[in-house]
Amino acid sequence: MAQTDDLPDVLDIKTVAQSRLFRVEEISLRFKNGVEVQFERLKSASRGAVLVVPMLDADTVLLIREYAAGVQRYELALPKGRMEQDEDILAAANREIMEEIGYGARQLQHLRTMTIAPSYLSHATHIVLAQDLYAERHAGDEPEEIAVVPWRLSQLGSLLEHAECTEARSIAALFLVREHLAR
């Protein structure tokens, strides 16, 4: 494990581009061996996101099928969304499932926080297990109604063969929850 004093020295950070969601930064670093380099990173404008694994029962997870603009197709994945200002992880998770699948959860557990492409992205996703679900729908910001797709966690292998299931965070979270529930 690297200690904080092992980290390279930050010489400069400049914003080179910005949108409403992201900021591209150029970061100049000096490593302990004296080598100086510049990296670009995509800095998230939010406090992170939640990705929720809503369990309808001991073996049934509720997935969503929604349009994914990045790959220009529909994706089968877990409910997720950005955390609002001053919103804690569990409150954000419960809000997201109420908006996206029409359920709230009486039992929420933050399992871990994950990153994707940490060399380039600052974004963090908090994985939350939601159990003891109850029907409750809140209005969300989705442009169309999201399809809810129940799937058996015991059939995770067949889900991975589905052409619309490619979102790495969802796949990792499903394996994480399957292992967690098996303990």
Render the burial of 165-174: b for 16+ CB within 10 Å, e for the rest: bebebbbbbb
Contacts of 122 (CB under 8 A, 6+ apart): 41, 42, 43, 44
Where exactly does CATH 3.90.79.10 map onto the chain? Answer: 49-182
Q: Could you read off the pLDDT tens digit of each residue along the chain, which spans 183 residues?
A: 556 678 999 999 999 999 887 899 999 999 999 999 999 999 876 788 999 999 999 999 999 999 999 999 999 999 999 999 899 999 999 999 999 999 999 999 999 999 988 988 888 999 999 999 999 999 988 889 899 999 999 999 999 999 999 999 999 999 999 999 999
What CATH architecture is 49-182? Alpha-Beta Complex (3.90)
CB-based contact 61:53 (threshold 8 Å): yes
Global pTM value: 0.91
Cα–Cα distance for residue pair 150/112, rounded to 1 Å: 23
Backbone Cα Rg of the chain:
19
CB-based contact 101:79 (threshold 8 Å): yes
